[in-house]
Amino acid sequence: MATQKAVSLRSICPDVQGTTYATHCIHTFYPARFIPQVPRYVLERYPVPRRPALVFDPFAGAGTTAVEAYLQGHHSWTIDVNPLTAFLVRVKLQPLSPRLWPQVWHTVLDHVARMRRSHEDWTPAWEDLHYWFPAEALPFLRRMWGYLKQLPTSEPSALFLQAAALAVTRYFSWGDSRVPKLFKSKRRKAELPRILDELARNPSLPWILLQETARRYIYGAVVLGRMAQNREVCVIEGPPLEPLSSDRLWAYVQCADARQVGPILRQGVELTGLIDYIITSPPYCYAQEYFRSTKIDLYWLGLVDSATLRQMMKDEIGYTTADPMTFAYLQRQFPALRHFLEKLESDVSRRRAITQLKGYFVDLWRVLEQAIPYLRPGGWCAIFVGEPRVLGHTAPLHRIIAEYLEALGLEVRDQLLDTIRARNLFRGRRNLNPEGIQGEWLIVAQKPDRLG
């Protein structure tokens, strides 16, 4: 197995200016976002013969892998069970040329002006709407979203406005967007009344914020286009429908459960050929509840109703019951997993937590077991994951994942520890992971080349 070493991915990727450059600036509220240095480092450090390559991410989240694949001149195929991902990939892969951006910006200004005079009205199917939003904010939010629902989503200005509207909506909610989960913090309870006082003095405030946020996103799209030399990219919501070509880049994005990735890939690779890269960051055990964190966006975009969201939250990775036979196999096969669970099982008071943890490791195995066979010989698999403390013990995820990958026939080349510089945490959190994630591991493995 490869040796382990500490690195700073931000330092060894000097061309990547921060984590919010280009369209990575869009919707920075997404929880536990994949830093762009990870896919950039993998794509530059571990080359493959095919160009453009096909980059696959089964836990696509905020769409970081899709953006970085495009910037490096590659096709992407991303999936995520959260329907917000497809929206984010579409809006982030809207490169604008210097010739087009003035037209898009003036269209945005025209829409905002019309929106302010509009009588459109739309309310999300959300039972807790009045819990999360003050009465003063709902009239203009309903008008804003009512107008946006009438716009064709094929129009770039509409996509930028919808993304900006999510930021404005969060700004006037009781949720504290500076923490990982939708939560009424003490800070927010003190902050929002001041915002509402400003709104009373200046009724134009939401429209100014909408306009300025859209302008910032459009500028990010111009930067994206310049960095990619205005290379054309075609974003498709759904599986590949035709063979890949080198004259344009394709970005496929699907709302799908990664645990069903086998049938998804089997259908698609008949057209695309085998995958060159798997680059992903799976959910961290006990560290994040993605639907709880993004439900404010899902409701206002009209992507879910309350019943659908409740079911999606029950089905999240790490919240399902493990198949006993599969788990027994994993426990026998992988020493790192077995030793970790032996430490935890001495605490009988946390039996339910341990049961959920078993489900997490089974789910992770199922995804990798189905995806690896579709990786091209000589291709690379890069997994980026943090290691929370569970019941007082650090989960050795990098060792468990490395053992998984080797059992699936890959050769682990690197295990790199990247220290987290900034985290949005409350002090003294009362949950199973009170200190958050201290560092994140990048595990890089290669599928042996049959011709090598």
Helices 351-371 and 335-344: angle between axes, nearest 10 degrees:
170
Instruction: Walk me through the domains of the chain, giving residue ranges and CATH numbers.
Output: 4-95+228-282+317-446 (3.40.50.150), 101-225 (no CATH)
Rounded to 10 degrees, the C-alpha dihedral 148/153/154/157 comes to: 40
For residues 212-239, b (16+ Cβ closer than 10 Å) or e, as one string? Answer: ebbeebbbbbbbbbeebebeebebbeeb
Q: pLDDT tens for residues 364-393?
A: 999 999 999 999 999 999 999 988 877 778
Residue that wins the pLDDT comparison between 220 and 290? 220
Residue, of 348 and 144, whose pLDDT is higher: 144
Given a cut of 80, whether residue 417 has pLDDT beyond it is: yes
For residue 452, pLDDT beyond 50 = no
Confidence category of residue 349, pLDDT binned at 50, 70, 90: low
List, for residues 38-85, the tens digit of each pLDDT value: 999 999 999 999 999 999 999 999 999 999 999 999 999 999 999 999
Specify the pLDDT at position 323: 86
SS3 412: strand
Shortest CA distance to 366 belongs to which of 282, 277, 261, 281?
Answer: 261
Lowest mean pLDDT among 101-105, 123-127, 369-373, 426-430: 426-430
CA dihedral 130, 131, 136, 139 (to 10 degrees): -30
The whole-angstrom separation of Cα 344 and Cα 348 is: 8
pLDDT tens per residue, range 279-312: 999 988 765 578 888 999 999 999 999 899 988 8
